[in-house]
Copies of this chain bind each other. A is one copy, B any other.
Amino acid sequence: MSDRRSQILDAAAVLIAEHGFTSTSVDDVIKAAKLSGKSHFYHYFKSKDELGYEVLNRQFERFSERGLAVLREPMIDPLERLNLFIDSVVALQAESGGRRGSPFGNLAAELADAHEGFRVRIEAVFERWASQIRSLLWEARPQLQDDVDAVRLSRFIIAALEGAVLMTRVKRDMAVLEGIAFDLKRFIAMHGRDALVVPVVRTFE
């Protein structure tokens, strides 16, 4: 992969993270990546959409290496890894003061309805993410209660984090994310075999 291509993808990633995909014009990308003009850009990418797809791919790869990686650390207790992962999400958002948001969630909300090509790719991202959490939960099985539903729990974790990051961005306040991260850890701990249980969903007559 050529140097120039990476440069373009990096520049585009920043712009898209800051302003969204639709609001980022090809000319903006050209300026940010210091290209000579449109033809220079279209020498590397066949369309703006293709650029977007590749940026999304890269974002997930980065996230997989830098964030999700801890989920696979074999020397650490699985449930502890999950806590560390949640902490890493908080830390990542802290870098931008909670202003950046999730590169996946942002695109999802922006394009899920309008652009099928993006929708399926974002769906795949969430699925791969969920799948890594499921593996971890499977590994943590001996420490978990028998009736833990890994599919449901993995989705819950992702939804809570995505929602938290979104609210944090709107309120411009990291405390929102920190609080939710704290509660999310408690919710996970509640599934431990040693957690003295927990009522099933209560019914009020």
Contacts and interface: CB of A to CB of B under 8 A. Distances in A.
Given A167-B158, A170-B122, A171-B123, A110 B113 contact: no
A180 B192 contact: no
A99 B182 CA distance: 30
B114 A19 contact: yes
Interface in A102-118: 105-106, 108-110, 112-114
A43 interface: no
B183 A152 contact: yes
Contact of A108 (B170, B194, B200): B170
Contact of A197 (B112, B170, B176, B195): B195
Contacts of A8: none
A19 B112 CA distance: 9
Contact of A105 (B109, B123, B189, B192): B109
A199 B204 contact: no
Interface of A: 18-20, 22-23, 76-77, 79-80, 83, 99, 101, 105-106, 108-110, 112-114, 119, 122-123, 126, 149, 151-153, 155-156, 158-164, 166-167, 169-171, 176, 179-180, 182-187, 189-190, 192, 194-202, 204
